[in-house]
């Protein structure tokens, strides 16, 4: 199997998996509320799920590197997700639904470092930026399709959650079948990277099993730019609170932002392979623009801010991950992905609290603080330049 075929098929796996879990996440709040959950319970459960999805990668990353069982962890993580979602539709009681919501996120934590490592091997041959970008673009197709599929089934069944989540078992089964087929066709994706290294030798220190200093500087850059990144939840809160959009239009805007996400991932991935990490300067610029535009009090400007948010997400989900693969040697890459996710998780929590607090205090102060944090990120970026060549 060629490296590009591997990337595309692996992207198809992510597409189908996104149909499953993004479809479920689009109605998690209303589902839990229908079982008697308060707003506090919904917040705690979904927050715990996100914390698990990021924090547990600090365990699953090193585990993948120690055992070298990348396929096993990838398949196990996907299996936990695609089993949890249909069961969520028939849970019937609040405690069981809460457990399943968190279990779905644990599945993401189990698979992500191993999955990203497998993908990084193939992108050594296709180009890191382009490979991760194509994977992210396919992923976003699922992120748009899943919520729309669930919304359609809800409309047809009179808002019955069981059928809406049950239908997601079909793409879930397809995820597992494709994974087993991929493993059979390419049991050792590291061969892609070995072949690429033979044609394009890596620097002598690439075999060093420690995480390089440039990785930690890069993590600091990512933490800075993530700390100033407003969530779509807060952007949509502003739009509805200020009567700029009705709640019914928010999912439509989110879908549009996801389409921008895919385009931005492809564009910056292509540029990364041509000009290197300099392309990442776009991320703090876009993050600052989200704050400047997204909290404006006119509809076109605020909507533009949400679309810029989608572009920034595209870079975060593709080119940032590609850079980690260029920074860290293969033997420590899953550990690096786990640590990187932990940094992003802490920064996201801090940023959510910071921007949420400043929103209630003063929007001009919010914008000023975000711009200042992004200026710091730009300063950190040159010191984090990755070695090129895999």
Same domain, yes or no: 149 and 288: no
**Which CATH number characterizes residue 271's domain?**
1.20.1250.20
> Is the residue at 216 inside a domain?
yes
The reply to whether 195 and 214 lie within a common domain is no
106 and 70 inside one domain: yes
Residue pair 331/65 in contact (Cβ under 8 Å)? The answer is: yes
Residue 282 makes CB contacts below 8 A (sequence gap 6+) with 268, 315
Asked if the model's pLDDT at residue 389 lies above 60, the reply is no
Residues 121 and 264 in one domain: no
Task: Assess whether 63 and 186 both reside in one domain.
Answer: yes
Does one domain contain both 162 and 243? no
Domain boundary residue, one of 151, 177, 199: 199
Mark whether 193 and 232 lie in a shared domain: no
Q: Which of 123-132, 200-209, 242-251: highest mean pLDDT?
A: 123-132
What pLDDT does residue 204 have? Answer: 46
Together in a domain, 223 and 368:
yes
Q: Is residue 7 part of a domain?
A: yes
In this structure, are 54 and 96 located in the same domain?
A: yes
Say yes or no to pLDDT of 148 above 90. Answer: no
Same domain, 354 and 304: yes
Which residue range(s) make up the domain with 300? 210-384
Q: Per the structure, how many domains does the chain have?
A: 2
Q: Of 4-18, 38-52, 202-216, 353-367, which gets the smallest average pLDDT?
A: 202-216
Query: Between the CA atoms of 236, 34, 25 and 310, what dihedral angle is there, to the nearest 10 degrees?
Result: -10
The pTM of the whole model exceeds 0.85? no
Confidence band (pLDDT; 50, 70, 90) for 199? Answer: low
């Amino acid at each position: 199997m060629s490296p590009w075929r591997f990337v595309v098929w692996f992207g198809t796996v992510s597409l189908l998996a996104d149909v499953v879990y993004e479809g479920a996440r689009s109605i998690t709040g209303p589902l839990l509320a229908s079982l008697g959950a308060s707003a506090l319970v919904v917040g705690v459960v979904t927050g715990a799920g996100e914390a698990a999805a990021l924090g547990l990668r600090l365990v699953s990353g090193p585990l993948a590197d120690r055992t070298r069982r990348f396929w096993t962890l990838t398949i196990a993580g996907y299996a936990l997700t695609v089993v949890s979602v249909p069961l969520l539709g028939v849970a019937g009681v609040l405690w069981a639904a809460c457990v399943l919501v968190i279990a779905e996120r644990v599945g993401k934590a189990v698979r992500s470092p191993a999955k990203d490592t497998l993908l990084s091997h193939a992108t050594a041959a296709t180009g890191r930026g382009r490979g991760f970008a194509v994977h992210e673009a396919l992923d976003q197709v699922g992120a748009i399709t899943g919520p729309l599929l669930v919304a359609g089934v809800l409309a047809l069944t009179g808002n019955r959650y069981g059928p809406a989540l049950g239908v997601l078992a079909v793409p879930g089964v397809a995820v597992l079948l494709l994974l087993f087929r991929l493993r059979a066709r390419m049991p050792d994706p590291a061969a892609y990277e070995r072949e690429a290294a033979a044609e394009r030798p890596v620097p002598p220190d690439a075999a060093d099993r420690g995480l390089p200093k440039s990785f930690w500087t890069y993590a600091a850059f990512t933490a800075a730019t993530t700390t100033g990144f407003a969530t779509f939840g807060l952007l949509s809160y502003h739009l509805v609170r200020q009567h700029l959009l009705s709640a019914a239009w928010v999912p439509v805007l989110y879908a549009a932002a996801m389409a921008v996400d895919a385009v931005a991932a492809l564009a910056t991935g292509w540029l990364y392979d041509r000009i290197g990490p300099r392309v990442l300067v776009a991320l703090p610029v876009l993050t600052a623009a989200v704050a400047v535009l997204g909290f404006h009090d006119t509809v076109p400007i605020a909507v533009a801010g949400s679309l810029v948010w989608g572009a920034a997400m595209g870079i975060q989900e593709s080119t940032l991950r590609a850079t980690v693969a260029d920074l860290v040697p293969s033997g420590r890459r899953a550990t690096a992905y786990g640590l990187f996710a932990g940094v992003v998780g802490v920064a996201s929590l801090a940023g959510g609290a910071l921007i949420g607090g400043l929103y209630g205090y003063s929007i001009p102060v919010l914008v000023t603080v975000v711009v200042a944090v992004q200026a710091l990120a730009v300063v950190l970026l040159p010191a984090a330049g990755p070695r090129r060549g895999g």
